[in-house]
Structure 1
Amino acid sequence: MSSENEQSGGPGGEAPEQLALIRETVRKAKVPRAKPRTWRGAALAKELPVARVLVNKGVLHLDKYFDYAVPEELDEAAQPGVRVRVRFGAGNRNVHDGRREGGGLIDGFVIERLAKSDYEGTLAALAGVVSDEPVLSPELLGLARAVADRYAGSLADVLQLAVPPRNARAESKPSPEPLPPPEAPAAGTWERYAQGPGFLAALAGGGAPRAVWTALPGPHWPDELARVVAAALASGRGALVVVPDGRSAARVDAALTGVLGEGRHAVLTAEAGPEKRYRQWLAVRRGAVRAVVGTRAAMFAPVKDLGLVVIWEDGDSSHSEPHAPLPHAREVLLLRAAHDKCAFLLGSTSCTVEAAQLVESGWAAPLAAGRDQVRAAAPLVRTVGDIDVARDEAARAARLPSLAWEVVRNGLKTGPVLVQVPRRGYVPRLACERCRTPARCVHCAGPLEAPDERALHCAWCGRGEAGWHCIECGSNRLRAQIVGARRTAEELGRAFPAVPVRTSGRDHVLDTVPGQPALVISTPGAEPVADGGYAAALLLDGWAMLGRPDLRAGEEALRRWIDAASLVRGQGEGGTVVVVAEPTLRPVQALVRWDPVGHAVRELAERAELRFPPVSRMAAVSGRAETLTEFLGAVELPGDAEVLGPVPMPVADPGRPRRPGDAPPGESWERVLLRVPPGSGAALAAALKSAQAARLTRGDDPVRIRVDPPDIG
């Protein structure tokens, strides 16, 4: 028998069908519980679940950002600027857009976090965060993008130069606390320059002066650079100094310590090792240190509140980066000065045409000493020409003219004597003593050589050569075109047996030598600093440096000579320099007068007439003949562009290192020069980058592109 409730359908008397309808209505009316967004079952970040990533892939057709999903467990660490690991490339022909699973793991940087992606499909997720240290700031990213655009390169390639590899041990150590700004420094030896004290005062007052500084010869330039840095720090801003090599960095480091004290600057050089260098770099990025001195890679140092950028010896080839996209430190610092509106100083004992152009255009002011100061600081320069050498029996017997022997003997009475030879080696090449025609093999036209005073033989085919005579003048007397440091040291050692002989070159570079009498034989750029300065210097085989088939041959020879002569005592202390070169040549006369600026101004005027860089912008494009033809047919050059060439590229000599302008071994390459007037450089770089990216997308062979090549041959 059923109960009353059952008969009436329930407590309220509803029928079973009605109860079922009510339950279904209530169930549908309930608000469903929010489910977290997931990727492959893993929860994503609740806010800004998309990371825009720059992958570390330096090819041009992938020079863009890719979107990735941010897993919830990586939400806190995956902030803009940090290094991450992502899957990139799924093994198919399509470019991976971060939207598929698969592909290998690759490093990248988080550029920004977004609420959503513009892609409608499923995003791949970040694989991991390498470190939560934000190493890529918006300022550094902007600079890297500007450099990539200027040099027709990829952003990833620039960031490989700008951000050093991670070192976990260095990253785990805290950086020191920042020190308060120092007091403004005294002018010191800047008093020798009419505008020197004013430049320091402008920096200390928070100004942004721009100057090209022609430094006086002598040992004072590191201290002068240190005082410039101290003036910038006194204004509460940061400073960056880029020098060509570790030896220069060590001298500026010591000067900065003397002026600022310990703990106020960082040194960024390869000699420091990866851990120490990365620790110093982190101290700069974190703002613990506001002053940096370093070699080429330091041009990207992330200095906080940058107030001054400095480059020393901008003509040194070490400032030209050999890795893609091949930027030059001077141009990168010019970009930083313009972007950060900070002060700029280009300093050197010589002067490049680029430095002269900065002054001629009015962008920078000259910062130089008067002629009386130059005469007091510079040594006496004397010349010996080829005619004098030919008439000099001493020179015919031992390559050194009588004047050079006299200067060496007198110099050794009071101190060391520097001898600069153009290149290292024993006896690299031979030439006719009378007319300087190169001695070549009659079988293959290869260069003849006689190492260790043995019989002549060809350096290419190895055949011996008996009874050689010059095909131009008939003479049978040979001389070494360029005698290297070792051979010169042996010759001088025999001539001065009681005097120590030291050599400095690529294999073993001396930093300093004592002030006692000695002969110091050095290749250009490897000259050690002598305590108290050299008593004298010999600059040998000047014709070999001037005779290079290079637009910069004269400028480079003068720079090398002035760098060496700047290590010699001033004329008032008896310092003397002898240069063995034709006295009437412009670079030789500029050395005698100690007028590098005048030489650069005249070189600039000639380049303006010929429309050569830096008056114009230029790019060198090289590759196989058919590849180069295809590229030139596809690239959309600016309307005012000129195509110069093509010309065949030289092939490196067998057994010798390949130079930047050489074709790959066993291949026949050609090169063209593309020239545009000022104002069209950005359009040229963009056109080259676009055409190269299109070739890479199709899988075609790329060409080699170099914007603003330092040597156009």
Structure 2
Amino acid sequence: MENPAHLTPKGPRAIARILVDSPLPQLDRLFDYRIPDELADDVRQGVRVTVPLRTAGRVLQGYVVDTDVETDEERVLADIETVVSAAPVMPPRLHRLARAVADRQAGSAIDVLRLVIPRRMVRAERTWLAADAPEQWRPDASIHAAATDMLGVFGGLVEAIREGGRVALDAPPGVDGAQPRWSALLAAAAIETVAGGASAVIAVPNHRDLALLEAAVRDAAPEAPLVRLDADQSNPARYAHYLRTLDDAPCIVIGNRSAVYAPVARLGMLAVWDDGDPLFEEPLAPYAHARDAALVRQSLHGGALVLCGHTRSSDVQRLVRIGFVAETPSARRHSPRVVLAAPQDAPRTGRIPSAAFRSAREALDVGPVLVQVARPGYAPALVCAECRSPARCVCGGPLHAPARGATPVCRWCGRSAHAWQCSSCEATHVRLASSGSERTADELGRAFPGVRIIVADGAHPVERVGAEPALVVATRGAEPVAEGGYRAVLLLDGDRMLQAPDLRIGEFCLRWWSNAAALAAPEAVVHLVGVTGPVARALATWTQSAYADRELDERAPVAMPPAVRVASIAGDEKEVTDALAQLADGVPELGTDAVLGPVPAEETDGRRRVRALVRFEYARGASVAKALRAAVVSAAVTSRSRKPRGKGASPRQRSSPPTLAVRLDVADPDL
């Protein structure tokens, strides 16, 4: 850490403890630096600074975590070079949270802070520093009473919010006007929280849900201090909104997965909507799921924790089963009317059973009908018409039909397959293996002439539709909200969805179907086509929590998540072997059956890699994370000693991160 050009006189000195911004795991600790006299008025907790770091061979940015006085006259310290900004963007509460999440995930605190603190925007920062502190907003009596009445349907929910409880909330299905009931419910919970003088933070998985939640808050309380943390915002807007969360005045924060870290001064409620959505899984180190980060934060900062959804993930059900989270039942239980329809039974109706076809035709007399399909596009997959082998291009890529009657095209190289021949049986004809949203719309357009067809998928995003008759063909998760709700809902391709090779595919399908069914009008019929078994029964009886219970029971004997936690260790063979040895020494009670592998993994930069899985109980999580973190640091130090050093080595060569990668809480060990 010391640099001769920055050495200071001995004696008592004011110092700052700095968390440096570096990818090297061995630097994930606090460093002491002397505060120069000329910077004494600017250095305070949470500000950005630059400091010299000899081991990195350059000047790094960092955050001031704390200040103190060094009385050891023999200790030689380097000076802080500059104060980047006077804005305290990392308050102590945020550092404690980042440290706790990183320790749980065997990661670095600075990696968590990178997910939370946006890039600095000078103009937005100057405006915030010069502005007066915002005034505290309180909802008027009518707004507060309406929110309390809505929450009162759920027994004990108001008390849980006021007393800082942890609840699993089954959201009511249905649409009121143009607003789904779940968004109005969470908006009411946020208003109730702010009325008590605290801030509310709500995380949702995607931008469609974020828009719905924002509209619900604006409808319920137009003057509420609403802060949106969203990656789609411009950099100045996102930074300005983040700075607002640092003020003492309570606010309502809404956003995607990183919103759970919003550093509000007093946290009154932290809510996560639809935690089973894979978008809540953080793809960047330290890979903490938003639900897990919310649990850590609630334990540190208090406030209520609300885990809400139309379905209940097996992870939340485990928390309910052990009594860590309480169930909050609704006094006015309402569920959609779900019919399990047999596969296609009339040639004239195509993929839709005759009963569902008649239901859709009748519903179109009064309003819109939703048709959910598995995939976007026209025909996502082609197979040989004779042997049903996947149709492949000469390059090996899959063929697809971009439009009706079009020549098949390769998804990889884009080449048209004019003279295609099956490599298995030498047949020359292909057939459609499945239908995408556009082909389904084409088929329905012929079956329902004169009816307006709306396609809603990733390429054609639609957030809302009106109450007039229309056929809305949507991929899973892209269903728009219909004013007053859909008059009928048809869930197609369910059998294909369930065939996906994923440990949680049953949970995913139940969530996709439940979220679509929840958009139906009160008297509408929901048709689930071609699916039977536990998932279909859970949807038909609207008992999603019972299905989550069943999933837990099935996974416990085979030690699969979330019955246990699973860690993945990947890297060079020696690194993984050494890491497993350190884990065995650090946590000897794990036993040999806890480790699966190592097995070959995908090569990276031409280097052969292996991967191992470690299964362990939740009670041993802290010990396992500590041992694996020590292994990562050890591998980094060893790797650094082998890297080029001196004048001939670039800073990137000297400070590149190690190849050993550790990830805790792997949701699906097969991936």
Q: What range is the shorter-chain TM-score in?
A: 0.7 to 0.9
Q: 1:279 maps to what in 2?
A: 240
1:558/1:587 contact within 8 Å kept: yes
In the TM superposition, what whole-angstrom CA distance separates every residue of 1:451-480 from its partner, at most 9, and x where no partner exists? 544566876797777675998xx9999653
1:148/1:155 contact within 8 Å kept: yes
Superposed counterparts of 1:459-474, under 5 Å = none
Superposed counterparts of 1:219-258, under 5 Å = 219-258=180-219
Q: 2:135 maps to what in 1?
A: 178
Task: For 1:119 and 1:506, locate their aligned partners in 2 and report how far apart those are by CA, in whole Å.
Answer: 64
Which letter maps to 1:677? E
Tell me: CA distance 1:648–1:446, structure 2 relative to 1, closer, same or farther (3 Å).
farther
Q: 2:108 maps to what in 1?
A: 154
Q: 2:379 maps to what in 1?
A: 427
Task: For 2:123 and 2:394, locate their aligned partners in 1 and report how far apart those are by CA, in whole Å.
Answer: 61
Task: For 2:91 and 2:589, locate their aligned partners in 1 and report how far apart those are by CA, in whole Å.
Answer: 37
Q: Secondary structure at 2:43's aligned position in 1?
A: coil
Q: Which residue of 469, 479, 487 corresponds with 1:535?
A: 487
Deviation at 1:258, TM superposition (A): 3.4
Q: 1:200 maps to what in 2?
A: 158
Q: Could you say what the CA RMSD is over the residues aligned between the two structures, in angstroms? A: 3.2
In the TM superposition, what whole-angstrom CA distance separates every residue of 1:382-403 from its partner, at most 9, and x where no partner exists? 2334xx33x54346xx433333
Task: For 1:141 and 1:232, locate their aligned partners in 2 and report how far apart those are by CA, in whole Å.
Answer: 24
Q: Which residue of 30, 45, 48 corresponds with 1:65?
A: 30
Deviation at 1:148, TM superposition (A): 0.4
After the TM superposition, which of the residue ranges 48-57 and 422-431 deviates more from structure 2?
422-431
Q: 2:643 maps to what in 1?
A: none
Q: Which residue of 447, 465, 480 corresponds with 2:432?
A: 480
Which letter maps to 1:211? V
Task: For 1:134 and 1:443, locate their aligned partners in 2 and report how far apart those are by CA, in whole Å.
Answer: 59
Which letter maps to 2:34? A
Superposed counterparts of 1:667-678, under 5 Å = 669-678=609-618
Tell me: CA distance 1:164–1:529, structure 2 relative to 1, closer, same or farther (3 Å).
same
Tell me: CA distance 1:172–1:414, structure 2 relative to 1, closer, same or farther (3 Å).
same
Q: 2:17 maps to what in 1?
A: 52
Deviation at 1:439, TM superposition (A): 2.9
Q: 1:108 maps to what in 2?
A: 62
Tell me: CA distance 1:476–1:117, structure 2 relative to 1, closer, same or farther (3 Å).
farther
Q: Does 1:546 align with 2:498?
A: yes
Q: Secondary structure at 1:110's aligned position in 2?
A: strand
Deviation at 1:423, TM superposition (A): 2.1
Q: 2:167 maps to what in 1?
A: 211
Matched residues, number: 632
Q: Secondary structure at 1:525's aligned position in 2?
A: coil
Q: 1:580 maps to what in 2?
A: 529
Tell me: CA distance 1:647–1:424, structure 2 relative to 1, closer, same or farther (3 Å).
farther
1:185/1:227 contact within 8 Å kept: no
Task: For 1:617 and 1:169, locate their aligned partners in 2 and report how far apart those are by CA, in whole Å.
Answer: 45
Q: Does 1:706 align with 2:648?
A: no
Q: 2:220 maps to what in 1?
A: 259
Q: Does 1:514 align with 2:472?
A: no
Tell me: CA distance 1:87–1:567, structure 2 relative to 1, closer, same or farther (3 Å).
same
In the TM superposition, what whole-angstrom CA distance separates every residue of 1:638-664 from its partner, at most 9, and x where no partner exists? 224311133445x7xxxxxxxxxxx65
Task: For 1:485 and 1:175, locate their aligned partners in 2 and report how far apart those are by CA, in whole Å.
Answer: 52
Q: 2:653 maps to what in 1?
A: none
In the TM superposition, what whole-angstrom CA distance separates every residue of 1:535-560 from its partner, at most 9, and x where no partner exists? 12222211222111111100001001
Task: For 1:632 and 1:88, locate their aligned partners in 2 and report how far apart those are by CA, in whole Å.
Answer: 31
Sequence identity (%): 35
Tell me: CA distance 1:310–1:438, structure 2 relative to 1, closer, same or farther (3 Å).
farther
Tell me: CA distance 1:507–1:440, structure 2 relative to 1, closer, same or farther (3 Å).
closer
1:404/1:538 contact within 8 Å kept: yes
Which structure has more RCO (C-alpha within 8 Å, separation ≥ 6)?
A: 2
Task: For 2:73 and 2:314, locate their aligned partners in 1 and report how far apart those are by CA, in whole Å.
Answer: 50
TM (normalized to structure 2)?
Answer: 0.86
Deviation at 1:123, TM superposition (A): 2.5
Q: 1:358 maps to what in 2?
A: 319
Q: 2:50 maps to what in 1?
A: 85
Structure 2 runs not aligned, ≥5 long: 175-179, 641-657
Q: 2:40 maps to what in 1?
A: 75
Which letter maps to 1:609? P
2:33/2:79 contact within 8 Å kept: yes
1:349/1:563 contact within 8 Å kept: yes
Structure 1 runs not aligned, ≥5 long: 1-38, 90-94, 97-102, 652-662
Task: For 1:671 and 1:497, locate their aligned partners in 2 and report how far apart those are by CA, in whole Å.
Answer: 55
2:10/2:75 contact within 8 Å kept: no
Report which of the two structures shows the higher radius of gyration computed on alpha carbons.
Answer: 1
Q: Secondary structure at 1:185's aligned position in 2?
A: helix
Which letter maps to 1:250? A
Tell me: CA distance 1:448–1:235, structure 2 relative to 1, closer, same or farther (3 Å).
closer
Q: Secondary structure at 1:602's aligned position in 2?
A: helix
Tell me: CA distance 1:241–1:502, structure 2 relative to 1, closer, same or farther (3 Å).
same
Which letter maps to 1:294? G
Tell me: CA distance 1:668–1:525, structure 2 relative to 1, closer, same or farther (3 Å).
farther
Q: Secondary structure at 2:38's aligned position in 1?
A: helix
Q: 1:126 maps to what in 2?
A: 80
Superposed counterparts of 1:589-604, under 5 Å = 589-604=537-552
Q: 2:567 maps to what in 1?
A: 619
Q: Does 1:439 align with 2:372?
A: no
Q: 2:304 maps to what in 1?
A: 343
Tell me: CA distance 1:191–1:469, structure 2 relative to 1, closer, same or farther (3 Å).
farther
Tell me: CA distance 1:135–1:633, structure 2 relative to 1, closer, same or farther (3 Å).
same
Q: Does 1:688 align with 2:628?
A: yes
Tell me: CA distance 1:611–1:668, structure 2 relative to 1, closer, same or farther (3 Å).
same
In the TM superposition, what whole-angstrom CA distance separates every residue of 1:417-438 from its partner, at most 9, and x where no partner exists? 2222222233222357899x65
Which letter maps to 1:110? V
Q: Which residue of 303, 320, 329 corresponds with 2:264?
A: 303
2:197/2:250 contact within 8 Å kept: no
Q: Does 1:409 align with 2:361?
A: yes
TM (normalized to structure 1)?
Answer: 0.81
Q: Does 1:499 align with 2:451?
A: yes
After the TM superposition, which of the residue ranges 260-269 and 312-321 deviates more from structure 2?
260-269
Tell me: CA distance 1:230–1:506, structure 2 relative to 1, closer, same or farther (3 Å).
same
Tell me: CA distance 1:441–1:251, structure 2 relative to 1, closer, same or farther (3 Å).
closer
Deviation at 1:669, TM superposition (A): 4.5
Task: For 1:42 and 1:626, locate their aligned partners in 2 and report how far apart those are by CA, in whole Å.
Answer: 40
Q: Secondary structure at 2:434's aligned position in 1?
A: coil
Tell me: CA distance 1:162–1:441, structure 2 relative to 1, closer, same or farther (3 Å).
closer
Tell me: CA distance 1:664–1:490, structure 2 relative to 1, closer, same or farther (3 Å).
farther
Task: For 2:386 and 2:172, locate their aligned partners in 1 and report how far apart those are by CA, in whole Å.
Answer: 39
Q: 1:639 maps to what in 2?
A: 588
Task: For 2:393 and 2:68, locate their aligned partners in 1 and report how far apart those are by CA, in whole Å.
Answer: 72
2:464/2:480 contact within 8 Å kept: yes
Which letter maps to 1:124? A
In the TM superposition, what whole-angstrom CA distance separates every residue of 1:604-635 from its partner, at most 9, and x where no partner exists? 11122222222211112223556544543454
Tell me: CA distance 1:117–1:533, structure 2 relative to 1, closer, same or farther (3 Å).
farther
2:134/2:247 contact within 8 Å kept: no
Q: 1:316 maps to what in 2?
A: 277
Which letter maps to 1:75? A
1:266/1:293 contact within 8 Å kept: yes
Which letter maps to 1:216? P
Task: For 2:72 and 2:221, locate their aligned partners in 1 and report how far apart those are by CA, in whole Å.
Answer: 52
